[in-house]
Amino acid sequence: MLEKIVDFKNYSSIKVGGIKKLKIAQTIDEALNLSKTHTLIGKASNTLISPNAKNLFCLGSEFDYIKENDNFIEVGAKSSAKKVFLYFKKQNLKGVEFLGSIPGSIGGIIKMNAGMKEYEIKDSIIATNINGKWIESNDINFSYRHSNIDGIIIAVRFKKEKGFRFELETLFKDMRKNQPKNPSLGSCFKNPKEISAGKLLDISNLKGFKIGGMAFSQKHANFLVNLDNGTFDDAIKLINFAQNTVYNKYKIKLETEIIIIEGE
């Protein structure tokens, strides 16, 4: 088992966290054993990590691969969204065009059923390897930005369908133009059924609202951004304030889309 020192202020996409030891699982058995006492993180593109967080681990390079089969494309959980997007585009395969516009590793993307607009990752997969066993997609409960996966995602098998959709690539790129450039974790809250989270924050006068160095972006209200040396505590206070404000005004509970790893 490997181990490295990581500065999460550089590792995390929102530039928050401390300097910590990060264990690296090189086999499925190591990953399963570590999961009993440690928390798995991917690329921390949607994860807010406390400076006091302990016992973290990630998957090693053995889980970063793409293999082509006659009927499917198998991808290791550590593989990046960008890597998979470029492979599908080069091979003229459809189904994951939005991966070119979102960050993260495939394992995290599957677990949260990531997507853009009405396009979700669940619609493009056949099966997921969880704790070393392949589970058919129909046996996994996927919903909006959520799955019931309780275990370590090892790999995923994508449908192998010809016809990369260039018009969707363009659509998703255009959507990204409306997103802030500051360090961020992407969408902070899930969209309630009644109205989008961004709209709720906007009409609650929270667009641009900040606490310390953290703020809800002026460009897109549902993006929690680090303006200048924002801290974990700043982010938590801002999230809690927004949830309380929206609930008091509209009786709607905002649920976080980002993952929060607290300290002990």
Catalytic residues: 145, 187, 257
Partners of 58 in beta bridges: 24
* Distance in angstroms (rounded) separating the CA atoms of residues 46 and 16: 12
The tokens describing 24, both together, are: 């690296």
Alpha helices in the chain (DSSP H): 8-11, 28-34, 81-90, 106-111, 166-176, 197-203, 232-250
Beta strands in 104-200 (DSSP E): 115-116, 119-120, 125-130, 133-136, 142-143, 146-147, 153-159, 184-187
- Total H helices, total E strands in the chain: 7, 19
Furthest CA-CA distance within the chain: 55
